[in-house]
Structure 1
Amino acid sequence: MVPTIIRGMTLKRVAPKLRNIPKPIPQFYDSRYKPKKVWPPDFSKLSEKEQFRFERRYKRRMKLATARPRWDKYVKLTQLFSVTFVLIYSVLFMDWQRENQPLQGVRDVIWGALGAFSPEQRHERRKPDIEAITNTK
């Protein structure tokens, strides 16, 4: 290893000659295989039917390329929960700062139905069943 380093240091270095070489224009498609079709096609030379086919194909491919199913799923769920929460809150709990609450009838029906499940009213719910059983005996 040491002899290689010494040999490298003793060699005469030749500075590369700098030339003004123009940079080649970058090619977007560098391949030795030429494409069968030129993309994008010249739409002025295509019929309306062919233009429509290309547009439909492009839209379909773009939709597939930009699809994010997990993100879309979470966005839809967030929208669903937020809209549901706002509706439930505005119907059941929101104080509308008015004399006549616009949804008071709906509130009474819902709280009446939910109040039937309270522990205080459990025995009242069961009384008709108990009376029906005792009358049959």
Structure 2
Amino acid sequence: MFATLVRRMAGGPIPPGLRSATRTPLAEAYISPYKPKKIWPPDFSKLSQKEQFRFERRYKRRVKLATARPRWDKFVKLAQLFSVTSLVIYSVLFMDWQMENQPFQGLRNSFWDVLGAFSPEQRHERRTPDIAVITNSK
């Protein structure tokens, strides 16, 4: 890109007679014979405050629509949610706080007690009262 720019600048201006001869039919197809109704960008010094505000609002809306990346935004939001959630879960349940009174020790104990109830050893302990009730009712 930089080499092309330097080469074009070193070449100097194209004489007016050669300009029209270097045009290809494809390039002429893109040249519109019609003049635009409005000049863009407008001269903001000649516009009122209300018109300036309207142009700015319209430009910001168009830029926002042109630069919108919904899939990327969704991915970033999900990544942020996952990282923050995993950090909180790690700090509450697994992190060693190096303190005498850990702030989440009660929550840790209750969580591991609930998870321990699903282990195979605890499963038999949970079933024994049910079995005792069934045998006593007969």
Structure 1 stretches of 5 or more lacking a match? 1-18, 25-29
Question: Hey, what does 2:126 align to over in structure 1?
Answer: 125
TM-fit CA distance, 1:129: 3.1
Separation in structure 2 between the aligned mates of residue 133 and residue 57 of structure 1, nearest angstrom: 76
How far did 1:122 drift?
0.6
- Distance in 1, matches of 2:59 and 2:121, equals 65
Matched, 1:21 2:25: no
Distance 1:33 1:133, change over 3 A: farther
Counterparts of 1:28-67 in structure 2 under 5 Å? 31-67=32-68
Once the two structures are TM-superposed, the CA of residue 126 in structure 1 deviates from its matched residue by 2.2
Mapped partners of 1:43, 1:131: distance in 2: 88
Q: Could you state the TM-score of these two structures normalised by the residue count of structure 2?
A: 0.69
**Structure 1: which amino acid aligns with 2:15?**
I
Whichever of the two has the greater Rg, that structure is: 1
2: CA distance between counterparts of 1:83 and 1:20? 60
2:94 aligned with 1:100, yes or no? no
- Secondary structure in 1 aligned to 2:84? helix
Partner of 1:16: none
CA RMSD of aligned residues (A): 2.7
Q: Distance in 1 between matches of 2:74 and 2:14?
A: 56
Aligned-pair CA distance for 1:108: 1.1
Query: Counterparts of 2:116 and 2:36 in 1: how far apart (Å)?
Result: 74
Higher helix residue share: 2
Percent same amino acid among aligned pairs?
76
Show CA shifts across 1:49-104 (max 9, x none): 22222222111111111111222222112111111111111111111112221211
> How far off its partner does 1:131 sit?
3.6
SS of residue in 1 equivalent to 2:123: helix
Q: Cα gap change, 1:49/1:121 in structure 2, threshold over 3 Å: closer, same or farther?
A: same
Report the secondary structure of 1:83's partner residue: helix
Q: Which runs of 5+ in 2 are unaligned?
A: 1-12, 20-30
**Structure 1 residue aligned with 2:73:** 72
